[in-house]
Structure 1
């Protein structure tokens, strides 16, 4: 496993509460959140998420899932939704396929705009899957569906006002 934190270079932001019926921080991923598309025996179902306590001034949210331990110099983006309206404070299981009105789905590193589950290479050791909800101080960030998750996160450098994360672990 690589020894790098996925958000170490971003400015410190206040936190808020993020919970999930499907993820336990530091715990193993459920098979639903693992990949079938990439042959890991899963179902590629995005996890249920709920959040509360975002700061005053929150006008939208961005949700991402990132594997900093993928065997690439840039990790692997599994999921990215931007411009989620501020009155949305939860996503149902599978919401990646049917996001809230106004939200923008972005292409993951597997080439789809859906959620792609965990699929670390066999024998590569445990990988961390960091799911973050970032509170944004703008109703929309200037990205469209063609923007990569990295480009979305670049926008969060200037517009993110708080961040809450849960990290699941998976290995094959």
Structure 2
């Protein structure tokens, strides 16, 4: 697999394709997102990696503060900015009640039930899917983003959120504040 990673080394999603840069999600101020499990722009621990990469698929703990008043809902998305695809790979997508200001480690598991957290479909399944970059592809940036939404997400035509693709949810959301924390992971 390291050979495939080396062949794809220069093929990466563009940073500007992250949810962070969408015009409908970029309004308002920036608030702080932190983690007890990693520092901004540091390496993610192996336990946060995907099981097929030797990890445990445990989502890191997250906390945020400074969310604007009148936030109707929050959107959390975890994206791999360096995936060798046409855009970032979505590792987790969830809608959060406005009162939620932190998530403990493991809270984004597909079988986790936590009041105020609704897991949505990611690029592959539901729930947190840890990093598993192709061996030899180099370091990947994982961007944990929280958006403060002005109104609850509703899809056109009454389509159900549970079956919606991440791009549909992102297109329907409108934010008036946002925060992020980035971590790195690499498989040699």
* TM-score, structure 1 normalization: 0.88
Q: Is the 8 A contact 2:50 2:130 kept in 1?
A: yes
Q: Give the CA deviation at 1:19.
A: 0.9
Structure 2: gaps (5+ residues): 1-9, 156-160
Cross-structure match for 1:115: 128
Q: Is the 8 A contact 1:23 1:166 kept in 2?
A: no
| Partner Cα distance (2:150, 2:108) in 1 | 23
| Partner Cα distance (1:104, 1:147) in 2 | 13
Q: Tell me the matched-pair count.
A: 165
Q: Secondary structure at the match of 1:145?
A: helix
Q: Is the 8 A contact 2:72 2:148 kept in 1?
A: yes
Cross-structure match for 2:55: 42
Q: How does 1:91-110 map to 2 (within 5 A)?
A: 91-97=103-109, 98-110=112-124
More helix by share: 2
| Partner Cα distance (1:9, 1:57) in 2 | 21
Cross-structure match for 2:153: 141
CA 67–151 in structure 1, closer or farther in 2 if over 3 Å, else same: same
Q: Secondary structure at the match of 1:166?
A: strand
| Root-mean-square deviation (Å) | 1.7
| Partner Cα distance (2:123, 2:149) in 1 | 23
Structure 1: gaps (5+ residues): none
Cross-structure match for 2:14: 4
